[in-house]
Structure 1
């Protein structure tokens, strides 16, 4: 970044530490013991598709990589906001974390990181069977909990308590204004 960029208020985009996604596997132990949350062995990568052959080739490439993973099932949907969801079902949390990392990495490596919105990882509460989602903000390299309660409502108190439960096991998003809700989640347990 040059002097004039700094004067004009422009900042250099910092690439997220994509490997921080792998912290979720170890945090899952804390979540199970301290919050009764077990992973559903699913994940989703959410991005805004771009037009053009380069993006289509990138999508085809990561879908081919996912097909090579024998213990992964993949489906792709588009929501009403035209975001694409690559939904991954696997045998265990480590598998879906690895598969979601591959999708994120492929988009990043081909220059489509601005298209990435987030990745999410659902967990089930063993006490009441409610869903809790851990959302990874690609551009920030951080996670936050999302606890929907139905009718486009969320349980903010529970989200804050889950933040406290994981402590330093996960890089948590400190700016709570970035803890945005996702209402049309195409993952069903």
Structure 2
């Protein structure tokens, strides 16, 4: 099963069937304190990157909604410096990749994009938001993945020493330390590993 087949299963169709509630982008703001805990207590620094993943809709209204998102993010870049890149993968999933060394600006931008889609009645198309971190002492990556269908976060820590292996110890440490600070996915069936198609790249690349 490839990355995007897994997204469809874990964050898409299956998660939609097992959805706990409608997408609520305000849940993302839990990360506004969690990233401080990540750095101060766990030794993970934000990399200045985050991404929003959603399914496309082939109609004029959805394209208009995306143009609205893009135009306001472009305007916001002048004020905050947050860069937003729009990408479409080979499976038809849409990504907005954000880059900004200021984590709060990243969070504001990704919330705006998700909230706009909800307001335009496309909340059901939102799949996931990803926040990227790096462990200070060895550079190991870790991500907090937010599933819009499940209304919860889960950690994904790929072990770069091995191909398609997870650092389970790191993931459980992240879970135990952030429990109560953000809403965590209790069913580990939904802790889907978002492997990139190319080794060493982010899940959205």
The TM-score range, normalised by the shorter chain, is: 0.7 to 0.9
* Structure number, greater radius of gyration: 1
Give distance in 2, aligned partners of 1:126 and 1:11: 36
Residue 64 of structure 2 corresponds to 57
Structure 1: where are the runs of 5+ without partners?
A: 1-9
| Residues 11 and 30 (structure 1), Cα distance of their counterparts in 2 relative to 1, 3 Å cut | closer
**Per-residue CA distance 1:156-177 (angstroms, 9 max, x = gap):** 2221111001121111111111
Give distance in 2, aligned partners of 1:85 and 1:18: 16
Decide which of 130, 135, 140 is 1:125's aligned counterpart: 135
Secondary structure at the counterpart of residue 195 of structure 2: coil
Structure 2: where are the runs of 5+ without partners?
A: 1-16, 197-202
Residue 52 of structure 2 corresponds to 45
How far has the Cα of 1:12 moved from its partner?
A: 9.3
* Number of positions where the alignment pairs a residue of Structure 1 with one of Structure 2: 178
Decide which of 161, 169, 186 is 2:181's aligned counterpart: 169
How far has the Cα of 1:31 moved from its partner?
A: 1.0
Secondary structure at the counterpart of residue 40 of structure 1: strand
Structure-2-length-normalised TM-score: 0.81
Q: How does 1:86-101 map to 2 (within 5 A)?
A: 86-101=96-111
Moved over 3 A (4+): 10-13
Structure-1-length-normalised TM-score: 0.87
Decide which of 123, 126, 130 is 1:116's aligned counterpart: 126
